[in-house]
Each structure stands twice: as C-alpha cells, then as structure tokens.
Amino acid sequence: MKTFIPPDFRVYIEHERCRRCKRCLMNCSFDAYTFQDRVTPDDSKCVGCNRCAVFCPEHAITISNTPIGYREHPLWSMKARKDIWKQSETGGVLLTGMGNDQPFRIYWDHIVIDACQVTNPSIDPLREPMELRTYLGKKPDAVSVKMDRDGKLELATELLPQIEINTPIIFAAMSYGAVSLNVQKSIAMAAKEFGTLWNTGEGGLHEDLYHYGSNTIVQVASGRFGVSSEYLKIAVASEIKIGQGAKPGIGGHLPGEKVNLDVSKTRMIPQGTDALSPAPQHDIYSIEDLRQLIYAIKEANGYKPVGVKIAAVHNVAAISSGIARAGADWIYIDGFRGGTGASPTIIRDHIGIPIELALAAVDERLRQEGIRNSVSIIAAGGIRNSGDVAKAIALGADTVAIGTAALVALGCSLCQKCYTGNCAWGITTQRPELVRRIDPEVGAERIYNLLRGWSLELKEILGALGLNSIESLRGSRERLRGIGLNEVELRILGIKHAGE
C-alpha cells in the first residue's frame, strides 16, 4: 500500500564535508542510509535519534523536522493526520515509547523555591555539612529513648527495616527485555557506587547482577517473570507493580523476538515466546488481597521492605491510603510523564494525571489520616533536574525515582522508538551489535556523574533555603510558591501564589 505519511525528519548531508567514512551507515540501526558513490539518506526511515549526527567525525549531518507544507489546522494537527494515515494503512494499535509528550501543563515549571535573605541566614554547603541521607521504610508513630547505666541514651523503640540511601534519588524500574543488560549493569553499578537503589522492573534479575543485591529492588508484577524465592531474598527490598505512569491499567506484551536466550533465562520463560503481563495481577482484586501479597513476599524475603508502585490516576490519594494500610513500606507514584519501552500511544497520552498533583494529594491525604509516617513516598514520572527533585521533596516525597533522565545520560535522545527494539544508542534493544554500544563502565560513570551533579545542586538549594538536611525540606510546602496557577491548582498543591 502506498503510504501517505510524509517523513518526520529531513536528513541533510553536507557532501563537501563528508569524507565517505560510512560511520553513519554503521551507526544507523533503522537502515536510513545507503551508499552509492556517496551517502544517501532515506528520510522516511529516519527516527530523529541523531546517532549518526553525533558520531559523524566531520559534523556533516543535520537532522531537521521536515518542513511541512500542509495547510495548518488547530484541531487537525499533523500528528492527528499522520496517526490516521498510519492506522488506515495498518489497522493496528499505535505504539510508542517514553512518557506522555502532549502539551499538558508542567507544574514543576510553575513552582518556585524560597531562599533566605537577611533574617534567617543561608548556609554555604561548601563549608558546612549538608545531609542528603534518606531512609526508606515505615517510621514509628513515636520514638522513645532509654538511658543505660553509663548515662548513654539509646533508642527504645524498635524500628522497622529502613533502607539507607545517600541521596533522595533512586532509579526507576526498567526491565531487562525493555532495556539491554548493559543498561541495567550501568545503572546497577552507578547505584552501588553512589549508595542508592536500582530496580529490576518485571523482567527478573540477570545472574550477572546478583552481587548488586544490596542496592537492588526486585519487582513483582502480574506476569511474575523471574520471580522466585531466591530473587526475593537476594534483593534489599521488593516492589509490587500495580501500574505504570505511561500505561495505567494495562498490561504489557514483550514480543517473542525480544525474548532471546539471556532474556529467557532471566524471565524464566521459553525463548522466543511472548511475555504477556496481564493488566491486573489476578491474585490482587482488593486492598485485602494486596496486603496478602505484601506479607507473602515478606514471609519469603525475611521481612525486608515491600513497596507498591501505582500509576497516578484520579483517586490516587484514596488508593494510596489503602496501600499504606495494606502494610506497604513505600508507595511509588508514577505520573503520566513516566516513561515506557512500549505503550499504546492512546493510553500514554490520555490516561493518568501529573505527578505534581498526585504527589501533593497523596501526601496531604496521608497526613490528614495520620498515617503519613507509616509509609514512604517515592515520586516519579518526569523528574528532569535537581530543581524538580527539591520541589517533589517539598511537596512531600521521601525520594524521587528517575528513569528517562538516566537513559538520557546514556545517550537517549527521546526519539520514542523504544518499542521497535532497534535503539541506535543501544538502550532499548537486545540486538547484540547495538547492545555493545554501551560500555557498562562508561555508562555507570555517566549516570554516577549525573547523580553527583544533582546531589551537589540539591545541597546548594538546601543552603539557599537555610537548611542543612533534606529531611527538613520534606513536605515543607511553605517553601514553595506557585506562578500562574489558578486557585484550584494552588489548593491541590498546597502552596501559596508567588507574592503571598
């Protein structure tokens, strides 16, 4: 069938600069280049990932959006037209990768942070100790201390297990299968080096990563891929995945093509079979069932923490209250900007709510009910920089999780073609020649550097706020102000408008 879809991108080669080294041919995993005397691009195959442009030694490649000569229409955007053409040519469900890319309001960009001037002096983090250490887990309702014979005070309250992390940033769940093993290795190494946590996602734990156990959260999702007693015991904690911001309420299909020998071993399913994750977990139809699974895992993992991950949806506050009461050690809330390796576009773009509103609503509800201490909150789904981290913590998060940001550190250019399995940057692929493009040592260094940079910035922000501990910022909404937000938005966020 003749396609009506115009190419998304135009590939321009400056032939005077080009030395015919063919690196672009080697780097393009979407076969957008051929070589006949000179490099010839096929615009229709270009996904705009810019791998070729970055690796062109002569900087002879420019990728631009195709100048579109179609008549403009505010309702019938080019995206709307292209989607219809694609579906009329395939009859299928449109797929995409990454998080929601629609122009919904980004609340982070309408929130600003306070600073000290004159009356309450700011602190210089370069000269004074600044505490980012964070503990994930249930906190007691109250603590009591006792004095021993020598007059030394010690804690009398028995604490439930806490996971200590050196910065309030952990890594979001990205499964082996969705991303390559080298991506997981990079992230796991960086997590261990920095003293934070990474998350297996629902694809099992590859045996090469077993020794990162004390920095690993293992996920238990509806397909139960790779979930065994050993898996639960190796990790420092487990997480029950109910939902994901990019695709709330739906399951996942890892196509058989991506289930190679190694993925098959890690997921514990036969090679080449589709890995179907049902939409719900069929042993969880209620809060009581959720509690049952939380404690089943605790019985198996020796009472280590068990968290629950949900997508941010309309009734997220009430749902979170149920999860806290079900005994979860943390609630991981994934906003609708949260990424994915594959999701139906219609789900990604139209379901779920922003993390900023969800987080504020959950924190407020748990405080009102007097159970905020019984559970940690992890906020995720669109954290782009340390400013977002600080704002999330002031809105009530114990820590944030980053997925897309970590992948961008590895080279991801947000082309959204993860679902094809052809990622030219070697991230969302299982093709061996592409997987090799990420050297885990180098990848770990890039991600470590990102964590270091953000953590230093967080200390600067705390210093400006006159605080010396991230703990003091947690839930401190008085230190935030809104700009250009209406009264409902300000009420939900629990912040005043700038100038108030």
Catalog residues that contact other proteins under the rule CB under 8 A: 86-87, 89-95, 220, 222-224, 227-230, 232-233, 253, 255-256, 268-270, 273-274, 276, 278, 282-283, 292-293, 295-297, 299-301, 344, 419-420
User: Tokens representing 283?
Assistant: 């042993």
Instruction: Output the smallest distance, CB 105 to other proteins, in A.
Output: 29
Instruction: Output the smallest distance, CB 423 to other proteins, in A.
Output: 14
Instruction: Output the smallest distance, CB 231 to other proteins, in A.
Output: 9
Total Cβ atoms within 10 A of residue 164: 12
Task: Quote the CA–CA distance of 343 and 76 in Å, as a whole number.
Answer: 23
CA atoms within 13 A on the CB side of 321: 11
Distance of alpha carbon 449 from its chain centroid, rounded? 17
Instruction: Output the smallest distance, CB 340 to other proteins, in A.
Output: 14
Instruction: Output the smallest distance, CB 230 to other proteins, in A.
Output: 7
Instruction: Give Dmax over CA atoms of the chain in angstroms.
Output: 88
In the complex with other proteins, the residue whose CB is nearer, 8 or 363, is 8
Instruction: Output the smallest distance, CB 257 to other proteins, in A.
Output: 10
In the complex with other proteins, the residue whose CB is nearer, 65 or 88, is 88
Helices 386-394 and 355-368, interaxial angle, to 10°? 30
Instruction: Output the smallest distance, CB 119 to other proteins, in A.
Output: 53
> Checking phi first, is residue 173 left (phi over 0); if not, alpha (psi -120 to 50) or beta?
beta
Task: Quote the CA–CA distance of 464 and 469 in Å, as a whole number.
Answer: 12
Instruction: Output the smallest distance, CB 342 to other proteins, in A.
Output: 9
Which residues is 331 bridged to in the sheet?
Answer: 308, 377
Task: Quote the CA–CA distance of 50 and 55 in Å, as a whole number.
Answer: 9
Amino acid residing at 80: A
Locate the DSSP E strands across 353-470: 376-380, 399-402
Contact status, residue 378 vs residue 168, Cβ threshold 8 Å: no
Contact status, residue 375 vs residue 365, Cβ threshold 8 Å: no
Sort 5 into a burial class: Cβ within 10 Å, 0-12 / 13-18 / 19+: middle
Instruction: Output the smallest distance, CB 147 to other proteins, in A.
Output: 31
- What 3-state class would DSSP assign to 131? strand
Contact status, residue 244 vs residue 309, Cβ threshold 8 Å: yes
User: Tokens representing 280?
Assistant: 């719900």
Contact status, residue 330 vs residue 396, Cβ threshold 8 Å: no
Instruction: Output the smallest distance, CB 278 to other proteins, in A.
Output: 5
Q: Are strands 134-136 and 163-165 parallel, antiparallel or unpaired?
A: antiparallel
In the complex with other proteins, the residue whose CB is nearer, 177 or 396, is 177
